[in-house]
Amino acid sequence: MTDLIDRDTFNHLVDLAAFELNEEQAQYLLREMNNQLKAIHELAVIPLEGDLPITSHGVPYTEAISAPPRADEWIPFEHPEAILAQAPETQDGYFTVPDIPHQTLE
Amino acid sequence: MTELCDLPAHRLVAALKKRQVSAREILESTLQRIAAVDGRPGSLAPGELTAEDTQRVHALITLTEQRARAQAENIDRKLAAGEDPGPLAGLPFTVKDIFCVLDTPSTAASRILASFNAPYTATSVARCEAAGAVMVGKVNLDEFTYGSSNESSAFQPSTRNPWNLSRVPGGSSGGSAASVAAGEAVFSLGTDTAGSIRQPAAFCGVVGLKPTYGRVSRYGLIAFGSSLDCPGPLARTVTDAALALQAMAGPDPHDSTTAVLPPGDYLGMLEKGVKGMRIGLSPDYFQITYPNQETGEYEQRPVPAEFEAAVRRAASLLESMGAEIVEGVPMPNTRYGIPAFFVISRVEAASNLHRYDGVKYGYRTDQPVQDLREMYRKTRAEGFGLQPKLRILMGMYVSAAQYSAQYYQRALRVRTLIRRDFEQAFDPAGKYRLHALLTPTTPTTAFPMGAVYGDSVLMQYADQLTVPANHAGIPGISVPGGIAEDGLPIGIQFLGPDYSEAALLQISRAYEIATEQEEWRKVKPRAIQTIL
């Protein structure tokens, strides 16, 4: 596990993340990602038993400490206008956005 | 002279209830302290850093003076009417600006949320206010909590350490720790994902408690790593941290990850001492891991001698009070906490940060755009600083289908090993049967501003002794454990089994009592004394 992230892979990630970067930012980010990857490679030396389970959160959620499923009830928010007021642009109670690009799949 | 704002919470509440002091007077004392020491608040257009800026704390992003005055008047009105004003009555507190508070800027220290006024209040904040506490302001942090120094905040000047204003306060709850240390708040509400309550508490010489995951609701907390984030209190004394936790802990129907367990009795056990408690020391917490700057290889070296000495001294004091000290507890996976965190936290961060798109709330680019995609790109490019961008990109890389088994799945399995270390140490039927593990909180004292910022790996390793508790979900507390030769505070940490906050507070309080009369306890943050 000594692979480094190359510039093409990096550019692909930048596109997926919907960022635009100048060259200085791109160089900094790629360098730091590869430095972090080097730290992550420390994990490669740990022998893991074949059936070692993953832990997705530390504290086990037993039935005794978990809330029972709640009723599927619709509870309206008291001030929906306060939510809409935070949006950069709205019209008639809808969020508005620039044109959505369309693409025809072949 | 000791001002009202320097008194501990439990004494203020007692005086208030006896009508010896009013909530208004406590608040005025606090606002005066803020005016004297804090300097200008963090802003998106700070201009040049002035000489005066370097002599101020800059804990605050938003001062909520009017709201605080109304709350304080309400407390005084209740007292006058003979009503119970609540267990936190009249206590001025600050809130890390990662919590939503109704009609208040809730920025996450990011340009992308700079204009966001939350339409609701986080449960933990609401519970403190319902208990009578008075919110004086929202305090600075690393952007989206991504850092250990506060320097990455989009709101500059960033917070400085009240003990030495050329040092960082730690992070990401740096504004919380600094505001409490400087007397700008009696307690503060912070969050801890890798050590973000405990590390700044250690750097600023205050108490910082990360509760068990699920002990305190995350509703209204702007998410970073959803399987790791824990809200918790920072305060100047152990009793005050217990008081604040008592108000905020417990199940919340708005957060299904809160445990359906009643909170413990955090105050009732405080003075019970440590007789018969088993407290462990681990050689793995006296070692720190660092990247060698020349070779790039990872090396282990001992923690600074004065840190180990502070921990061993605490152990011998607790032993003299009746605790049993257990040496040599193996915690072999401690060193993998940061590498695993680099993977898990980035995946969760990337997932949580995709929601910022310039559509529903927050910032949208002012530039003309052709279509929606271009609006996303420009909004996110302008709205996020470099550290959030770095976390998003890294999270996407290590969770990509072709790398996930190698990185993300592996890190989640290493997390199992980290959890097992603690389970074995705390197992009541096991070899060690610990009530708590005693460790240093940090590998160093507060570092100089500018010394680490930019090096994302070195910055992350500041959390290496705190992050295992986040992986495992267990509670941890950092308490002041002395002053180092450089004049800066040393923090010591107690880690305990799930939901053992009451025992951790009890042990911490015993240590506080044992050291109450020591000279270092009398030293107050020097930089603040100079400003005042």
How many CB atoms sit inside 10 A of residue A77's CB? 10
Catalytic: which of B29, B96, B110, B508? B96
Any domain includes B269: no
With a cut of 50, say whether residue B508 has pLDDT above it.
yes
d(CA B180, CA B200): 11
- B173-183 average pLDDT score: 98
Any domain includes B206: no
Any domain includes B392: yes
Q: Which of B169-173, B197-201, B296-300, B342-346 has the lowest mean pLDDT?
A: B296-300
DSSP assignment letter at A63: G
Question: Phi/psi zone of residue B29: left (φ > 0), alpha (ψ -120 to 50 degrees), beta?
Answer: alpha
Any domain includes B469: no
Contact residues on chain A for B361, CB-CB shorter than 8 A: 83, 86-88
Any domain includes B326: no
- B523-529 average pLDDT score: 88
Residue predicted with more confidence, B1 or B202: B202
Catalytic: which of B172, B176, B188, B282? B172
Any domain includes B16: no
- The boundaries of the domain holding residue B390 are 337-408
Residue predicted with more confidence, A68 or B411: B411
- Decide if A86 touches B, using CB distance below 8 A: yes
% of chain A at pLDDT higher than 70: 98
Is A95 within 8 Å of B360 when comparing Cβ atoms?
yes
Residues in CB range of B10: below 8 A, 6 or more apart = B237, B239, B240, B243
- Decide if B292 touches A, using CB distance below 8 A: no
- Decide if A55 touches B, using CB distance below 8 A: yes
With a cut of 60, say whether residue B471 has pLDDT above it.
yes
Is B414 within 8 Å of A46 when comparing Cβ atoms?
yes
Q: Which residue is listed with tokens 């050590």?
A: B195
Residues B232/B235/B240/B244 CA torsion (nearest 10 deg): -30
- Decide if A91 touches B, using CB distance below 8 A: no
DSSP helix/strand/coil, B261 = coil
With a cut of 80, say whether residue B390 has pLDDT above it.
yes
Catalytic: which of B22, B148, B188, B196? B196
Show the CA angle centred on residue B352, arms to residues B351 and B353, nearest 5°: 95
What pLDDT, on the 0 to 100 scale, is given for residue B495? 98
Read off φ and ψ for residue B95, nearest 5 degrees: -125, 125
% of chain B at pLDDT higher than 70: 100
Residues in CB range of B302: below 8 A, 6 or more apart = B286, B287, B288, B308
DSSP helix/strand/coil, B71 = helix
Q: How far apart are the first and last CA of chain A?
A: 37
Q: Which residues of B262-301 are buried (b: 16+ CB within 10 A; e: fewer)?
A: ebbebbebbeebbeebbbbbbebbbbbbebeeeeeebeee
- B406-421 average pLDDT score: 97
DSSP helix/strand/coil, B384 = coil
d(CA B231, CA A42): 30
DSSP assignment letter at B249: B
With a cut of 90, say whether residue A104 has pLDDT above it.
no
Are the beta carbons of B346 and B407 closer than 8 angstroms?
no
**Mean pLDDT rounded to a whole number for chain A:** 93
Is A58 within 8 Å of B473 when comparing Cβ atoms?
yes
What pLDDT, on the 0 to 100 scale, is given for residue A1? 45
Alpha-carbon distances, residue B59 vs B145, B178, B196, B320 (angstroms): 15, 6, 15, 39
Q: Name the amino acid, one letter, at B54.
A: T
Confidence band of B227 (pLDDT split at 50, 70, 90) = very high
Q: Which residue is listed with tokens 């605080």?
A: B68
d(CA B53, CA B280): 44
User: pLDDT tens-digit profile of B268-326?
Assistant: 999 999 999 999 999 999 999 998 888 888 999 999 999 999 999 999 999 999 999 99
Is A43 within 8 Å of B340 when comparing Cβ atoms?
yes
- Decide if A53 touches B, using CB distance below 8 A: yes
Any domain includes B378: yes
Number of domains in chain B: 1
Alpha-carbon distances, residue B22 vs B16, B110, B132, B179 (angstroms): 6, 37, 13, 22
What pLDDT, on the 0 to 100 scale, is given for residue A2? 55
Any domain includes B360: yes
Alpha-carbon distances, residue B201 vs A33, B156, B486, B530 (angstroms): 29, 21, 17, 21
